[in-house]
Amino acid sequence: MKCLRAGYDKVIVCSPERKNLEKIRALASQRIPEGHRKKLLFLQPEELFSYLDGEAAALAGKEERVKGYRVKVQYQALDEEAKRAKREAIAQVILQSLRRQRGQG
């Protein structure tokens, strides 16, 4: 409630236990007015990271002029599977590069 009174746009409640989040959500629905409840997010740690990635991608969008044309760029957050696939692909490229360097040296 303190954060909502301070004027924050969003308040994140994070817990690794889904049961705890549900208990806190139930208490919040009883004690916090409806208008403020819309500002609350109840997330587990994995969901929190995905949410923050999405917010960062939304903020990274920009608009600029290129050769007189207005160009809007919007970035989209990747889901966990896509992130894992990219990490694996990068690791494979680095591993292959190291193997080639060792073979030449």
Interatomic CA distance for residues 24 and 43, integer angstroms: 11
Place of tokens 């997330």: 43
The per-residue pLDDT of the chain, averaged, comes to 82
Lowest mean pLDDT among 17-26, 64-73, 74-83, 86-95: 74-83
pLDDT digits (tens, 9 = 90+) for 22-49: 999 999 999 988 888 899 999 988 888 8
Any idea what DSSP says for residue 78? Answer: P
In the chain, where the domains are located: 2-77
DSSP string across 37-72: HTTEEEE-HHHHHHHHHHHHHHHH-EEEEETTEEEE
Place 77 in a pLDDT band, splitting at 50, 70 and 90. low
Interatomic CA distance for residues 9 and 52, integer angstroms: 15
| Residue 4: partners with Cβ closer than 8 Å, 6 or more residues away | 11, 32, 36, 39
